[in-house]
Amino acid sequence: MDKIKIKGGKSLEGKIYISGAKNAALPLICASLLTDETVTLTNMPMLSDIKAMNALLEQLGTKIDEFDDFVDGHSTKTYSYRTKEATSLTAPYDYVRKMRASYYVLGPLLARYGKCELSLPGGCAIGARPMDIHLNSLEQMGANIEIKNGYIYASVEKRLKGAHIIFPLVSVGATCNILMAAVLAEGRTILENAAKEPEISDLAHLLNKMGAKIDGIGTSILTIEGVDKLNGATHKVIADRIEAGSYAVAAAITRGCIELVNALPFTLKRPLHILRDMGVKITENGNSITIDARGCTLIGKDIMTEPFPGFPTDLQAQFLALMLTADGASMVTETIFENRFMHVPELLRMGANINVHGHASAIVRGVKRLSGAQVMATDLRASFALILAGLVAEGETIVNRVYHLDRGYERLEEKLRGVGADIERIKESDEE
């Protein structure tokens, strides 16, 4: 497995282009299953999760064409998807185990073809993320659901029926899945307590371009009037707010100054508010954000993860790392996932002062210095927290199992080197 080697102590300065959002692109890809026409997605990130989802759709019978593209002068990818007729309605274990978001094929296949067989999903080991909400909602729409031998067997006679669904808790995955199912259902569907993340709004905008009738975009109540057929469309994937937030922390933790080009400030209101309260200077200018921590003495702040527009769980690990370099103590409270402090033991190896209380909270006390060490990445966002710690640690840090990073951060080493980091990837073949 590849490793990443970092020599810490450099203040980062320059510009970083923020790629298209992985968490938006994955359901957008699956939305292409709802039509027999071509759906073209621009500003696509080049990530292993995208490759995995593309491989799954090709297994289902989707024809995919890939194009090199440029957005605002930066290299990116465009993909076109056409599923004239599915050749399989099964999402097998070998595909789904690699990426939890594979479950996004469930709603579209059930809505268009009336049947889907889906292996129970895998993904990062950050706690149980049950599919009960997805399945119970589809049952309310008339689907028959059976689980056996590690698979979900879903079917419906003729078409799904519109329903008034009240989600028992806010779920991004369930909101996306049921939204895609509802656009081809018979009649009206109302989704209450829907997640309001920008990635869901992005999905709804694509679906409306395809001929869907969705109202309430960006709110907790979505109303969908089902249609008989959807058409193709072209859509630009929104910027990745988690990538932008991660590099914002890289600027702050190294006391540097980075302009985040193609970032969307409205998607990061709470994290930017926390950074300002800590003492970081932030300038918003259209689709760019400048994070300036040069000469700053940062003050620790408490954070609590919440559904959007609250503080995102996917930035918790990165901000926890930042708090290690701030004055005073900070409390980090995790309310979304129950197992999301797995990066803490690795940070302790570098000299961090963190006390975890159960699965829900951690007290972080600022330390005078961190020391480079061999550390092990446990999940996608925790991996970036270790990168951040390595950027400020004295000496050399080696981050192992970096395949997690490749799932969510495009050209990470290249982007960080571009702003002055001493970072390189050590490939397994280089050590032989």
Which residues, listed in sequence order, are joined to residue 67 by a DSSP beta bridge? 78
Name, in order, each residue with C-beta under 8 angstroms of 411's C-beta and a sequence gap of 6 or more. Answer: 46
Instruction: Tell me phi and psi for residue 222, to 5 degrees.
Output: -110, 130
**Catalytic: 124?**
yes
What does the alpha-carbon distance between residue 203 and residue 366 come to, in Å, rounded to a whole number? Answer: 40
CB neighbours of residue 92 within 10 Å:
15
CB 381 within 8 A of CB 318: yes
Pull the structure tokens for residue 44.
Answer: 């696509």
Marked catalytic residue, from 124, 176, 257, 296: 124
- Name the DSSP class of 251: H
- Name the DSSP class of 232: -
Closest of 106, 54, 103 to residue 78, by C-alpha: 54
As a residue count, the chain comes to: 432
CB 258 within 8 A of CB 291: yes
- Name the DSSP class of 75: E
CB 289 within 8 A of CB 268: yes
Tell whether omega for the bond before 198 is within 30 degrees of 0, i.e. cis: no
Q: Which run of H or E residues covers position 146?
A: strand 144-148
Instruction: Tell me phi and psi for residue 164, to 5 degrees.
Output: -100, 105
Amino acid of residue 358: G
For the chain, what is the radius of gyration of the CA atoms? 22
What is the signed CA dihedral for 144, 147, 153, 158, rounded to 10 degrees?
Answer: 0
| Angle made by CA atoms 150, 119, 82, in degrees to the nearest 5 | 165
- Name the DSSP class of 298: -
What does the alpha-carbon distance between residue 317 and residue 432 come to, in Å, rounded to a whole number? Answer: 33
What is the signed CA dihedral for 381, 386, 387, 393, rounded to 10 degrees?
Answer: 160
Q: Please compute, for residue 100, the number of CA atoms within 13 A of its CA located in the half-sphere on the CB side.
A: 17
What does the alpha-carbon distance between residue 408 and residue 242 come to, in Å, rounded to a whole number? Answer: 9
Q: Catalytic amino acids?
A: 124
